[in-house]
Structures are given as structure tokens and as C-alpha cells.
A and B are shown apart, each in its own frame.
Chain A
Amino acid sequence: MHLLIAAGAPVIPNFGGASDKCAVNNGFFCWNWFTQHWGSTFGPAVVQHIVLTVIAVGIGFVIAFALALLAYRFSVLETPISGISSFLYTIPSLALFQILVPFTGLTRLTVEIALVSYTLLLLFRNIITGLREVPEDVRDAARGMGLTQRQILLRIDLPLAVPAIFAGLRVATVTTISLATVAAFVVDEGLGAPIFDAISRSGFKTEFVAAAALAILLAWVADFLLVALQRLVAPWAAKRRSSLVPRSVVRAIRGRRRPISAVREA
């Protein structure tokens, strides 16, 4: 209802301060308006969005990690843990807010509980898969050389699970950044707030185009940073990939190049 009314009669937020032609006409994206409202609206929203995401992924990772270790040690636990986190994952976010609000109110806590519960499945599955996919011969060699169970977990299993763990972290982070926009239904925080405002009140296009674009940009940057971090933590994984897959390609290119340069020299 709000949306329809708002779309009919756009209300420019903070109109008057620095309106130009684009803003008056409710253009698709008004750069001037955006830069004028960076400090008051978008900048803080980006920071809030990052905070929401980092807390959700951080807490989600800690819980998922503990659960994965537990399920790794006692494999009977894997199915129930997996089932519960799958169940949480399927609850629609708006419904989950509705359920939580009577208990935790319109607070950041409500948002974080929802966001954390969505990260659990992705993170848990990836961590446990990473641990389980450590090659049996590697584990056997480790045991045969006298590493204790604890040393095998810390020095072999976990480092080898790093690529899978990071794959989970990347998906969870990008998903959370996207989901955190919905938090604006509960608290006036994050990049969801301008979008929500545009939809429910102002109908001003630049407001939600800018917020949505920032959310996408944030997801890209976060993903890139995680890839870079993984390269740092597990340099061997990149080496392995580059040495296994494209070696044939490299050889093909080199093989083709050599005769050409030989001809040139001749």
C-alpha cells in the first residue's frame, strides 16, 4: 500500500537542502544527491551494514566451528546438527523476525539471531566437509608417524580443511550482506534502511539504487578480501590448483610459443 502511494507522489528526503534537476525529477540515480547524503545517510549505513555482517558471520563461524568439531569427533551428531541448521535456514527471514520480536524486541539482537542462524548451515556443512575430505592416506601417514589425535586435528585436518572453510565463509558472508538489508524491518540500521525508506515512504529512486549498489559492492569487496586472506593462510592450495589444472594449458602455450620464437630467431 505504502509503496503504491509513495510511487505516485515521490517525497525527496531532505528536500530543499541541495536539490537539483535530477532529484526534482526523481531520476534513476542522482550523483549529486548521493554525494550530499553520503556523510549523513550512506556512510553510516555502510558501517552499520559491515558491523551487522561481521557480528553475524563471526558468531555464526564460532558456533558452526564448534558444532563441526563436535560432529567430526562424534559422527552420530552430524545428522541432527545438519537437520536443525537446515531447518533454521528454511525459515523465511521476515517470519523469523516476527517470531523473535516478542522475545527480543525491535533490537539489533533480533537481527543478529536471524542472521547467525542463516550462516550456520553454510558454515557447518563446509567445515565438516573440509574435515572429512582430508585424504585417508594423509591421516594414516600422520598417525603412523606418531602424531596424537589432537596433533592430527590441529596440524593436519584443520589446515587441510582451510579451502573448504573459506568457501563456506565466502558464501555465508555474501549471503549475510544481502540478507542484512532486511534487518531494516526491525532496526533502522544498515543499507536496508535507505532501501526501506525509499520503498515505504519517499519513493525516491536514487535512495534505494545507491543502497543496493553499495550492498553489492560490499559483497564483492568482502569476497575479494576473503580470497586474498585464504591465499595468505593456505598458499599451498593455490599452488596445488595452479600446478594441477593449468599445467597442461601452460605446457600447451609454451609448446606453441617455442617454435614461433625459434622461427623468429632464425
Chain B
Amino acid sequence: MPGRCGLTDLSVKIGKIKFKNPVLVASGTFGYGEEYSEFFDLNKLGGVITKSITLNPREGNPPPRTCETPSGMLNAIGLANVGVSEFIKEKLSFLKKLDTRLIINVAGSTLEEYVKVVKRLNRIKGIDMLEINISCPNVKQGGMHFGATEESAHQIIKTIRENTSYPLMVKLSPNVTDITQIALAVQEAGCDAISLINTLIGMAIDSETRKPLLANITGGLSGPAIKPVALAMVWKVAQKVNIPIVGIGGIMNTKDVLEFLLAGASMIQVGTANFVDPKVTVKIIDELKDYCENHKIKSIKEIIGKLETQSIS
């Protein structure tokens, strides 16, 4: 029986935090975890990342909020969430009981909002890390403006860093001129990891009705359609930074995960694929074990950044 015998080490680390495997679920595709616990044991995951949490509850954008595009989908949910107080009161207890890493995704419209949310989360037992969303494309003041320039990205992460001792992962937008410069800026500001990419701004139109398919007109493109863009950005950022990278963008299967690891990601997030197959993450984790076993790889860490660019012919 290949794999599954526990010899292969899938664990990875970000700073001092050890994850049992490199597979996380991307913010906004996994709710607050409860929905998918009906399908599989969430403790098998490397970690869970919550929906973006904001200071106040947000209803989100008017419908229609999603549509399918070739090998992808557009969404403009608009950071719909229960707000940090309700999150702590109602949603956190379920997540805290899990035997996996818990990462809270934080978003806001102003620097003060981010800081207030982070301060509310400080000193809560069971939270392992924060993911700072400076890349939501679907809300006018949804944080993407913070991620748009080196100066603003640096300033917000530096301020958050001063207000919390949680390890910080910063989620970057691909909708910028040079993502490596933003990555360097947030590294310099003291974050512990960088996750990329958030969705690409996209649009779909019904030529019969002459209307956009999303009420928000534009949305964020995700799914396999964006994987080549994400891989290139992960690879470029990996050449520049020395903190761990978490790869996101169109991951559907184990092969996709391996590609991101080779490009330089230490961990990955599965997003849209959760909708297609609720159990895709556990399949990937099992298959990663098989892959390592079959290739005589003792630790998954051995392949991180091992892209061979020398002899392409």
C-alpha cells in the first residue's frame, strides 16, 4: 500500500507555527468552517482560514454576486460577514475546538478598523495567526487600496504589527504593477508570511440584455483560469523575499499543489475547488503523502522552491 504509513513528513512551518501539512482553505470559500464539517474531518487540514472579518457586520453586495466564466468564476460578495463581536461570540467556539491551525482573515476600510479588529482578537486562545486582507477587489474601501502601493501596504502592516503579537500573513492583490515590490514592502513591515494571489478583477456581460452579469459590474476572477498568473507571481515573489509564501490561485488537485511548491510556495490555499468538490482538500493531502512516498521524498519541504530552470529544452 503506497503512502499512508506515516513515514512521510508533510509538516511545514511559518515562523514558529507548525502546520501538519501545507494545505489551507482560502478565505471566503469555507465560511466559518461549519458547512464543510458535514463532509469531512476538518482536523485533517493544515489549517482553516475564515471569511474576512470586519469591525462591523456587513450585508455584502446586492445579487447577482457570482457567475461562471471559462474555467473560472467571478464573485463580488462584498465581504459579507457577521462582524468581529458576533464572530467571537457565535462562530469562534466551533473553530477553536478543531485540532488544526486557525487563521483569522481580517479586512477593513480604514487603518483604524483593521487595528480595532486585531485588538479584539488579541489574547483569544486558539487563534494561531491572522491573515491580513489588503486585496479585496469588490468593496470600494475594501482594503485593496492598502495593497495597491508599497507605502500604504508597508504602513498598514507596520501598524498592525505594532498592535498584535499574532504571526501575520498578508494576502496580496495581483491587480498591481509589480507584486514583488508590495511583497518586499510588507516583509519589511514585519509580516511572517505572504499569501498570493487574491482574485483578479474581471467582468462578464450578457450581450442580449446589454447588462453586466454581476450587480457590482466587476468582480474577482478565481478558479483554474488564474493558475498560470498565480504561479508566475508566486515564483517572482519567491525570488525576492525570504519569508514563507502561501500560494493561492486555481488549485484544483495535487499536481497543482506540487507546481506551487516547486515555484517557491511553502504552503497553499484551496479556494474555488472547495465548491466543486467539498472533499478536494483531503484528497490532496492523501495524494501528497502518496507522491512523497512514490518519489522517496521524506519531507514535503524538500521540494519547496526546487523549480529547475537551468536546462529547459
Report whether chain A binds chain B: no
Residues of A within 8 A of B (CB): none
Residues of B within 8 A of A (CB): none
